[in-house]
Amino acid sequence: MAAQATEDVARLSQSIKNQTKTVDQSTPAINENDDSEDANEEDAGNQNASKKKKKRKPKKKKGGSKTQTSPPRVPVSNLFPNGQYPEGELCDYANDNHFRTTSEEKRHLDRSNNDFLQEYRQGAEVHRQVRQWAQGHIKPGQTLTEIAEGIEDSVRALTGHPGLEEGDNIKGGMGFPTGLSINHCAAHYTPNAGNKVVLQQDDVMKVDFGAHINGRIVDSAFTMAFNPVYDNLLAAAKDATNTGIREAGIDVRVGDIGAAIQEAMESYEVELSGQTYPVKSIKNLNGHDIIQHSIHGGKSIPIVKSSDQTKMEEGEIFAIETFGSTGKGYVRDDLETSHYAKRADAPNVALRVSSARSLLSTITKNFGTLPFCRRYLDRLGHEKYLLGLNNLVQSGIVEAYPPLCDIKGSYTAQFEHVSPVMDQAA
């Protein structure tokens, strides 16, 4: 989920002592240990019984399917019954931070308490499986509503949290609404009820969605294009994101990361209809840190060169995301708002609109400070809530996140992964 440089969000309120540096880009293998039968029998009768038993059709093992379905519907907890989820891609530290990879004592301390990492790894595995399915399933001709609901239904199924019972979505499920931003729209667009937009062959669509377990949000995004003329645009954003991940680490200054990202991004150009366009980093969009139950924790990672001397700190979780554009490289609020979130520092004010009071209770009980969209309120059975929702926004209790767009006629691309900034071996 995108973050603007001017956003004033809640500061990181907790210090996480568990430590590893990982990126949600792994493809795990699922190991299953089959029970073996004892071939040594005491007498001939037992041998005959054993032979007869072997001829029987094997009983279905408890715990359900051990392979994922299409669309994904098997909870990942069934696929990993031991509760140990894949670590993801590990990146070695370099230069002055190399000791963080090689120090055995440091690694031992990192392993001593990493429960929260298991929650992140479970969420990452949910995201990976849904992402893999979506990349093979999304095709031109589908409506944006169909695409968004397909992703969201899958995330809810794999986390084991349908989100219809009060408080269930706070335990796990969607970390934020599925962003399906097309062409010049870079971020924060998801279809509202009644949306009839259909994905076209020449569209460039950013797919940005989050999965969470106990508020540990895995925020990852990719871009889809079906016309190869956009390949360089996608390659630029992917290269820039991977560069940001490699540069990230404990005590690294975010301004230095931004400079490296911009250099990678702007080394590409795209030829469209006989005209060459340089790919520009969108300068007022950033990566961001993530804290429990809050998608924006307070720190930003610029994607252009910056004098920002803020350092990444041990134990922080960052979403490394980059945006490239063939336009001006600057976005503004545009189109109909769909994304909202209750502010962590929401003021305690009297609400004169009765529908606002009722809606605030629903938001607090079902989403807390997790982002939501109008479709999620529809899904919970809320009706005629727009007046109350606008009142909550005007009162400073709920933040609205309108779509962010470059100039019309331009094309934008995004790639993103979550990276805990910690010692490698946690």
Indicate whether 118 and 192 sit together in one domain: yes
- CB burial readout 385-424, b (16+ within 10 A) else e: beebbbbbbebebbbbbbbbbbeeebbbbbbbbbbbbbbb
Indicate whether 246 and 389 sit together in one domain: no
Number of domains observed in the structure of the chain:
2
Q: What's the one-letter identity of residue 173?
A: G
Residues 213-237 pLDDT 10s: 999 999 999 999 999 999 999 999 9
Give CA–CA dist 61/148, Å, rounded. Answer: 34
Is pLDDT at 16 greater than 50 in this prediction? no
Indicate whether 245 and 369 sit together in one domain: no
Residue 321 marked as a ligand binder: yes
> In the chain, how long is the greatest CA-to-CA distance?
85
User: What pLDDT score does 96 carry?
Assistant: 59
Of 12-16, 83-87, 324-328, minimum mean pLDDT range: 12-16
Indicate whether 277 and 397 sit together in one domain: no
Residue 53 lies inside a defined structural domain of this protein: no
Indicate whether 256 and 347 sit together in one domain: no
- Tell me which residue range forms the domain holding 275: 3-26+83-329+408-421
Which tops the pLDDT comparison, 276 or 51? 276
Residue 186 lies inside a defined structural domain of this protein: yes
- CB burial readout 117-152, b (16+ within 10 A) else e: bbbbbbbbbbbbbbbebbeebbeeeeebbebbebbb
Query: How would residue 252 be classed by pLDDT, with cut points 50, 70 and 90?
Result: very high
Rounded average pLDDT over 18-26: 40
Residue 57, token pair as written in the block: 């059709």
Indicate whether 355 and 378 sit together in one domain: yes
Residue 41 marked as a ligand binder: no
Q: What is the CATH number of the domain that holds 136?
A: 3.90.230.10
Give CA–CA dist 424/258, Å, rounded. Answer: 22
Give CA–CA dist 353/391, Å, rounded. Answer: 7
- Any idea what DSSP says for residue 228? G
Residue 382 marked as a ligand binder: no
Residue 360 lies inside a defined structural domain of this protein: yes
Indicate whether 240 and 286 sit together in one domain: yes
User: What pLDDT score does 66 carry?
Assistant: 80
Indicate whether 131 and 263 sit together in one domain: yes
Indicate whether 144 and 209 sit together in one domain: yes
Query: How would residue 59 be classed by pLDDT, with cut points 50, 70 and 90?
Result: low
Residue 396, token pair as written in the block: 């400073």
Residue 362 lies inside a defined structural domain of this protein: yes
Of 8-22, 42-56, 223-237, 261-275, minimum mean pLDDT range: 8-22
Residue 188 marked as a ligand binder: yes
Residue 303 lies inside a defined structural domain of this protein: yes
Indicate whether 230 and 256 sit together in one domain: yes
Is pLDDT at 38 greater than 50 in this prediction? no
Indicate whether 113 and 206 sit together in one domain: yes
Catalytic residue positions?
208, 219, 288, 296, 321, 416
Indicate whether 156 and 231 sit together in one domain: yes
The model carries a pTM of 0.82
